[in-house]
Amino acid sequence: MLHLNDPETRGETSRVAVPCTSRVPCQDVNGHDAKLGQSHSLIGDDQTFTIDDIGPSFEYDPELPKLNKFSVSVKSKTNGPNVFVEVPALKKVRTAYKDLDEVTERFTEEQCINFLMADSTVSDTMSDDDTEYFSIENFVVYDKNGEIVDFWVEYDFRSSELYWDGILVEGDKRITCVGVNYKKFTIEGYGVNHNEIIIWFESSVRENLWYKVVSTLPEYAQIWKSFVWRVYLTKYVLDWIHTNPSVLFKDLELQFYNWIHNSRSGDPFYEEWISKLNPQTRDFRHLVINNMYLIWHEAYFLGPDYSEKPFFQDEWSPGRYSSNTSTIGKNLEKTTVTPTVYKWFNDLFPNLLNVIEPDNCDELKGSPSKNVGCNIREYKELKHKGVPIFRGLISKSKKNYNRVQIDDVVINVGDCCEIYPDDSVGPDVRWICYITEITKVNNSGAIKFVWLYSRKDTLLQNLDKDLFSNKSKELFFTLHCECVKFWPISRIKRKILVHFGKSKCPESNNENVFFCKYAYLPMAKEGSFITFHEVMTYPNEEDGLCCGCGDNDDKFAIFRKKYERDDCILIKPFEGDIKELYTVCKIESINEEEGYVTLRRFYRLTELSQKKYGTAKNELLFSDYLFNFDRFHDVVRSCHVEFLPLGEEKPVNLLHRGTGEHFYFSKIYFRRTKTIKNPDSNMMEYFSKIFPDWYYKVEPCTKLKCLDLFCGGGSLGRGFEDAGFVECKWAIDTNETAMKTYMHNSKQGDVVLINESVNKILANAMKNKNNQNLPNKGEVDIMLAGSPCQGFSRINKHQDTDRSMTNNSLVASVASFVDFYRPRFLLLENVATIYRKLVFFRLIGCLLEIGYQIKVGLISAIQQGCAQERNRIFLWAAAHGEVLPGHPPVSHMHSNFFFKSYRNLFNLGNSTSLEGLSNVSMTSFTMNTVGEITYDLPKLDTGNYWYPIYPDHVATINSYKIKEILRRIPTYPPGSDYYSALDRGMIPDRLRKEEYDSKRVNHFGGEKYKFCQRIEKDDVFSTICTSMRCNGFHPRIVHFEEPRVISVREAARAQGFLETDILCGNIADQYKVVGNSVPRNIAFALGLQLGRALTDHEHEHLPKNHYELWNDY
């Protein structure tokens, strides 16, 4: 008897194998040879390892022959005849052997074993420790419904009941075996001395009997070979860990490739394996993460020599499964708040807040205002007796004066007055203004002024309760002026005193004394409270106070002030250009005498390319086209253009599909000859000097230190870092998988990751507990906060539960972090529907009381370059004295515009509403569509296939019934869903879902719920959520052609993730990390706006980086 575990007989031919009663692979950990005859080779004699992008062929379901002839009549896009589109038939393998003619007989596993072992002497000579094996040809695995499946995904993640078929081979004997219950498998071939692996399947009816896969059915080849590739990856990684015990997960970024390349070069199995990857692949973290369960599975059964290595035990290893993650965030806890924040939110969240008085809390209260006395007689109500006396003539032609005396009260330009309101206004309403011009008209006079708003005239009118203690005394300076017409001087009721720049009213008991801390700008696109500065009230020497509404007719002077030679600008298109897109130009020269400039036009590569997909929209062509230009009213704003030498990798600012209006060029277009050429060495040197890369420009700017709250996978922080003005130093979140994702995508090696509740972190900081991980007060320059949105989301139908309310109360936590740390800037993101909640306006009121400027607006992901319909509220806050950042301009057009839900969000005051979202007639780019961002991804069919080059291009495996429904959803017309298929008779009774049928409700002429709806190739994704389930709350998640939901990689691209971004966890974890993220494109655009505020050369009196980067970006 031969035993392969005997060193003396190892390697001799026998069909008696090493015992495999457990999952321990068939060799010792030292890598001694344990090869068993013929193995399953990665490079087979009759099969090549080719992963076909279009997927394997399938048998059509014989149950539905009539569906193969079913046609749908649709309207033609031309005036020609109707177009008939054949609905794809059901793709399903009902059994591994379709025709009985293929094989004469089929047997059960027990029958096959008896046949193969008949007349064999082996079974008589085997001991209990021996293991028998047979070879399998034409191997295939399928589920109980007869559908071919990836056994690893189905079995290990869903515990499905699986079966396999194949031809069992023993010597010259061959017998077809069907319906074998899949039990388990084992892998042989670990160790650096082994080049080849063997995969064994255990018998379901005999102990110590294993099967070795030699070949598969053609229909199963792609699934099987993808699995074999994963197995080789597992072998190589575990061999590397075992050979290099001290390596960590981060060493996969480069060290693993160097090791495997040096140790395996020349090995045909390795060469074939590595050929399936991009030749530039050096970082294997993507691949290992998406196969970590298999790798850990094998390491565990190989024993402590593998599983207890630092690679798996390191805190941030995706292979380390912490028990801590099951408790953090699961139990409801009270939200930690400061006393000021508690006052604003306590009645909204009773019993959910934990108020803590910070140590050294006097620092948060500020210094008290001094009491300033006033002359009460000067502020009496005017009777307007006698003729007004004008003094201090400013302009004879306009009869403007510096002051006027009414009764015995002198009113100057720059004084504040109360105006008699209209009769329609209630008796308690007071109209207060700031005088900008006094004019003599006959024996009387007239005034022009700027209105000062009360709190009820601003967006604070949306507060259910105004909890500010000095609310009746606060006024807001505005740009709402009365410059078009004069108001009679008799409308002045009295002179009043306003203390500008004060945070409290010095004389709280005097009804005619007020204070003004902020200017209020109720713009259509964003409402803003900004710090009041005295420069706002500086009078003009000739015309009195400038209110800011005047239009300077000298457009060339304005242009000259903003732009210089070699700047790149966007101008409105000329006749013959693409009418929806701005034209990109470079300023070649400026003619001061004649008042015009010479521009050089850039051409878009997409204008000249015939490729529908694959051409970068932000790639330009330098051209020889020069022209003189004096239409300065057609200048839109500046943009960034940089030279990228051919073959060089794109910097990250160019990877956001044009967001931020960042362009690049590598070639020259000659307009007359219509040829494109590469620049020579002299031109390349010139281009590098005139068009430097973005990060060379921002290098002189001091980066702000960022605290990233509710950081998730880090997409918001990464986007801000991409802009170049921020470095994330601290990140807090309770989700361990998200924190690991953050860690492995972090640029900064010294980022402190805190996998803990924000409430515990803030409580420790406020109590001065010694924790080296926490930032000190004064260290945080900017906070980013994407607070939990589930409680505000329209998808959540249980918004009043304790968990939802607890999540909502975390908005108060953000305010408390601001109150305690006092950063220079804050950015808060949440779902658009938060504006319907009282908590949103309480937050604004609270931040204003703390002393922060506020700007709030709605941003569309589509209009910032994401191929996704995602609309979110963004709130900027800036400390006193800082320049308040704005919201980014629209860079991408929405071709299929529909923003009905967000036309007017809330009242900003003075009959002005925050417009929310609207389309624009011209932008820098067209809309990025589903087809454009996914054109290069291979097909997955129902989700069974996996491709090494796209490791996270994986999708949720649906149930059999859902798969059957998805196969019947028409691909035309675009956007078809379950109801579309049902109306066309394509859903048989056995597949109808009561859940879907019962919710078919007419809603404004359409369906209220959309089940199993396909995305449209030429449109955008629906809002990317944290899971992909075919229910009415997750519409448009079905692929536009395939019978599956969208993959993790497709969702990540829709969210602006880069191809190099690593997503930790299993498929469900990855969907959650992606769905909870702020689109990186938007974060990048907001980061650029922060940079503009930091380098704003028009605010020289404010603290900033003394580096003029921005013009009118």
- At residue 53, what is the residue type? D
Question: How many Cβ atoms from other residues are within 10 Å of residue 119's Cβ?
Answer: 7
Distance of CA 901 to the CA centre of its chain: 22
Mark out the alpha helices in 457-593 (DSSP H runs).
Answer: 555-562
Strand partners, 453: 476
Q: What is the DSSP string of 165-218?
A: EEEEEETTEEEEEEEEEP--EEEE--STT----EEEEE-SSSTTEEEEE--B-G
Q: What is the Cα Rg of the chain in Å? A: 35
What six digits make up the tokens of 926? 């067209």
Measured in Å, how far apart are the chain's first and last C-alpha atoms?
83
**Beta strand 444-454 pairing with 431-441:** antiparallel
What six digits make up the tokens of 817? 């972090």
Question: How many Cβ atoms from other residues are within 10 Å of residue 1031's Cβ?
Answer: 17
Residues 261, 788: Cα–Cα separation, whole Å: 45
Q: What angle do the packed helices 1067-1075 and 736-745 form, to 10 degrees?
A: 70
Distance of CA 183 to the CA centre of its chain: 41
**Could you tell me which residues come within 8 angstroms of residue 94 by beta carbon, excluding any fewer than 6 positions away?**
59, 61, 62, 146, 147
Reduce the secondary structure of 719-763 to three states and give it as a string.
HHHHHCCEEEEEEECCCHHHHHHHHHHCCCCCCEEECCCHHHHHH
788: closest CA among 902, 868, 844, 712? 712
User: In what helix (H) or strand (E) does residue 1060 lie, and over which residues does it extend?
Assistant: none
Residues 152, 890: Cα–Cα separation, whole Å: 46
339: closest CA among 351, 354, 352, 328? 354
Question: How many Cβ atoms from other residues are within 10 Å of residue 128's Cβ?
Answer: 7
Residues 716, 738: Cα–Cα separation, whole Å: 13
**Beta strand 539-540 pairing with 526-531:** unpaired
Residues 179, 164: Cα–Cα separation, whole Å: 6
- At residue 490, what is the residue type? S
Answer yes or no: 789 catalytic.
yes
- At residue 1067, what is the residue type? I
Choose, from 547, 568, 585, 789, the residue flagged as catalytic. Answer: 789
What six digits make up the tokens of 454? 């009360």
User: In what helix (H) or strand (E) does residue 606 lie, and over which residues does it extend?
Assistant: helix 605-608
**Vertex 174 angle, CA 171 and 175, to 5°:** 145
Residues 517, 520: Cα–Cα separation, whole Å: 10
* Lookup result for tokens 């932000």: 618
1085: closest CA among 921, 882, 889, 874? 889
The residues annotated with a catalytic role in the active site are: 789
